[in-house]
Amino acid sequence: MTEVSIRGRVGPDTLADGSEAKIRQGKSAEAIVQELHGRFYEQTKRGNVFSDGVGLTAINNATYTVATLGATVTPIVGLYNPSNSGVDCVLIEASLAVVMTALAATGPGGFSWAASVGNAAVSTGNAPLNRALLTQGGSKARGLVNVAPTGLTNNLVVRFGSSLMGGSGENTTFTATAVAMQTQALGAKELFDGSVIVPPGGVIALLASTTPVAHSVVSALVWEEVPF
C-alpha cells in the first residue's frame, strides 16, 4: 500500500489573488475546510453585489399591480439590465414589509414576479447601491423600485408567484375596529440564491394582485452582476 503525505500550513494566510497556497491545517494536523466569512462576502467585497429599495412608500395605485404590465407599470421592487451591460443580474434576495395606513383598507391580494426580455430603450431607473461601499456607483443595471420603465419595448408577463407578503389579508375593503381587525402580515424575505437571472435587456418586477388601499411598503432587491 502506498502512503501519500500531505503537508499544509497551520493558521490563516493573507494572500494576493494568483498566489499559490498550501492546504490549511489545524494544530492537530487536521485539514481545515470551512466557509470563510459570509456566503456572499467575496462577491460583495469585489464590488459585484448591488441593491435598490425604498423607505415607506404608498402603493395605492393600479400601476403597482398585474393590471398594469406596460411602460407605466411601477414595480414595488425590480430592476432593468441594459442590453449592452455585458453582465447577468443574478438575484440573491428580495424583502418586503407592508403596513396599513388607515382603518379602512384593501389588501394587495398576494404578490407575483413579472418579467420581460428584449428591451433596449428603457431610459429610467435608479442608481443602485454598491453593497461593498454603501454608495451609489459601479452597477451596470438600474433599479426600478417605484420607477416606471419608460421606453419598455415588450410588456411584462407574470411568470411566478412570490413568497413575499404583507398588509391586510382581506382582498376587499375592510374597516378595522377595536374588536374586528384585519388579518395581516408585516413582511417577509424571498431567497433566490442565484436561481433567477435577469439577462441583458431583461426587466423583472414585483407586483400586487389587486390595487391596495391604505397600504405602504418598505422594499429591497439584492443582486450580483456577473460578466459573461
206-222 mean pLDDT = 95
Point out which residues pair with 93 in neighbouring strands. Answer: 191, 222
pLDDT for residue 178: 64
| Residue burial 77-94, b: 16+ Cβ < 10 Å; e: rest | bbbbbbbebebbbbbbeb
CA angle 181, 68, 187 (to 5 degrees): 35
pLDDT for residue 55: 94
DSSP letters spanning 199-216: -TT-EEEEEESS--BSEE
pLDDT for residue 34: 66
Residue 226 has pLDDT above 90, yes or no: yes
| Dihedral sign from CA coordinates of 87, 88, 89, 90 | negative
pLDDT for residue 30: 77
1-6 mean pLDDT = 70
Q: Record the pTM.
A: 0.85
pLDDT for residue 1: 67
* pLDDT tier, 156 (very low <50, low <70, confident <90, very high otherwise): very high
Q: What backbone phi and psi angles, to 5 degrees, belong to 44? A: -65, -45
143-172 mean pLDDT = 92
Residue 84 has pLDDT above 90, yes or no: yes
The distance from CA 17 to its chain's CA centroid, rounded to whole angstroms, is 29
Q: How far apart are CA 80 and CA 204, in angstroms?
A: 7
Q: What backbone phi and psi angles, to 5 degrees, belong to 62? A: -65, -20
105-124 mean pLDDT = 95
